[in-house]
Amino acid sequence: MSSIVFSNVAFSYDAAPAGLLAGVRFGVSEGWTGVIGANGAGKTTLLQLACGELDPREGVIDRPKDGLYCPQRTDHPMDAFGPLLEATDGEAFRIRGRLGVEDDWLDRWETLSHGERKRAQIATCLWLQPGLLAVDEPTNHLDRRARQMVVDALRAYRGIGLLVSHDRELLDDLCAHCLFVDPPRVILRSGGYSIAVGELEQEAERARDARTKARKERKRLEQEAVVRRIHLQKAEKKKSLRGVAPRDHDARAKAYAARNADSGVGKRFHQMQGRVKKASEHEASIDVTRPERLGIEVHGSASARNALFRLGAGALPLGEGRAVRYPDLILQPSDRVALVGPNGSGKSTLIRHLLERIDLPPDRFIYIPQEISAEASAAALDVVRGARREDLGSIMAWVARLGSEPDRLLASELPSPGEVRKLILARHLAMNPHLIVMDEPTNHMDLPSIECVEAALAEFPGGLLLVSHDEVFLDALTTTRWEIVPLDAQGSTNELRVRQTCLSTTSAVREHREET
């Protein structure tokens, strides 16, 4: 089967019987289709429905029998990863080579970077050659080189592909269509992300114009109805005998004459009422998406200390005889530092080492890790659910300002990776931190949320330490680079180098992004 077709599909989770998706109708064939929407909107649910991991509550899904879902999380290797490493066929060798998968990765899964784990996931899926492949955030955690390896591998896939990603460049590069998930609806549009979004924006503009015209017509008809009501009231008054003396024969004659006359005033008034009703229904039927009010503020201040932390020069083991060396490191109260380097070079290891040496009170320090396990995500949601009523309201208000639906999030069994990052960030927004450390902050976040977080961090007066492969994000927010580079061809020893960067101001960077 070379296509997948959703016919009037509805789905809801038991914890949220009101429903997540309803009346979903679309069909796509071979090639990649992007799946786009806010965190928690149901993108992963749609992929799991497509692959048969979930069953719809209503409707029918015609799909290939061998659908395969490649998840966002990289906590555990896929079941077929071991067989892929043991396989001796040419396709297995080709895929392992194309994605740089090494023979010992299964044995040292816990020491792999999340970027290496993601490549292992994708290699496993491509080796299985499913008729339908649904990939959730394939470029999360990847450096530029690894990202290109993944893009080339996905481009070679010849089945039906569904791709969830916040990577606009990837969606434009690979996708011939885009599905926009906006619960309970799913909208299919042609083209990559930029073309499809442009088409949706034009449709929204046309809808706004149509709604404006319909509103003006309704108001015009309502005014005309008022005039006709006045005419009707005058006509009714002429017919009335109320207050007319029994002997006032002239007045009574006029009233009887008015009653017998067929002026049509009443008929025209009722016709106008019908036209007003139809105009109101027409106005209400024009679906106009209202822009959401997004945006957050991170309250904080620069510490009065001379330094937020100091770390003397040393080396950290990375496993398998590998290590990363670093010089004396100091982070001053208002420093804005980007920690960069290839996948597996030791960035997260260095961050964990630094965290153990930061001597700040809990309410002066925010840390959001690169990956949050399913167990930790569920625990974070339970903590929020158990918060005091006023605290819960404040947290969920911030979650809403980051583009997620609070009620749907609280009713979920497990928050998505993007939602749990928002949840943790929202819990700390009321603090007055001196330092914010974020490991891959844009991973799993939808595009509007990334822009909200970027704008908020740009105004933060304290110290920033950001680990990311998102160069646009780092260029807008940081002025110092801690860059880990390999010292030998084997990559057994890496070295961290510190350099200042001469970057444009955040506002100038934003203006440049808007122009391009």
CB atoms within 10 A of CB 480: 18
CATH of domain 3-191: 3.40.50.300
On the CB side of 163, how many CA atoms lie within 13 Å of its CA?
33
Specify the pLDDT at position 516: 33
End-to-end CA distance of the chain: give it in Å, rounded: 41
Q: What angle do CA 123, 127, 128 make, to 5 degrees?
A: 120
CB 7 within 8 A of CB 60: yes
Confidence band for 506, pLDDT divided at 50, 70 and 90: very low
Specify the pLDDT at position 68: 96
Specify the pLDDT at position 198: 83
CA distance 449 to 39: 9
Residue 513 scores a pLDDT above 50 = no
Residue 267 or 83, more confident: 83
The residues pairing with 213 across neighbouring beta strands, listed in sequence order, are none
Indicate the average pLDDT of the chain: 85
Core vs surface per residue 246-282: b (16+ CB within 10 A) or e: eeeeeeeeebeeeeeeeeebeeebeebeebbeebeee
Domain ranges (residues) in the chain: 3-191, 202-285, 309-515
Residue 16 scores a pLDDT above 80 = no
Q: What angle do CA 500, 504, 509 make, to 5 degrees?
A: 130
Confidence band for 166, pLDDT divided at 50, 70 and 90: confident
CB 507 within 8 A of CB 459: no
Counting beta carbons within 10 angstroms of the beta carbon of residue 242, is it exposed (0 to 12), middle (13 to 18) or buried (19 or more)? exposed
CB < 8 Å & 24+ apart, contacts of 110-115:
111/318, 111/319, 111/320, 112/344, 113/141, 113/343, 113/344, 113/347, 113/348, 114/74, 114/140, 114/141, 114/348, 114/370, 114/371, 114/440, 115/141, 115/142, 115/143, 115/146, 115/343, 115/344
CA distance 137 to 442: 11
CA distance 374 to 4: 29
Given this chain, do its domains 3-191 and 309-515 carry the same CATH topology?
A: yes
Specify the pLDDT at position 504: 42
Least confident of 82-96, 112-126, 348-362, 489-503: 489-503
Residue 470 or 129, more confident: 129
CB atoms within 10 A of CB 460: 21
* Fold entry, domain 309-515: Rossmann fold (3.40.50)
Provide the whole-model pTM: 0.67
Q: What angle do CA 165, 343, 477 make, to 5 degrees?
A: 70
Q: How do residues 230-264 score in pLDDT, each as one tens digit?
A: 877 776 666 666 666 777 767 677 666 666 665 57
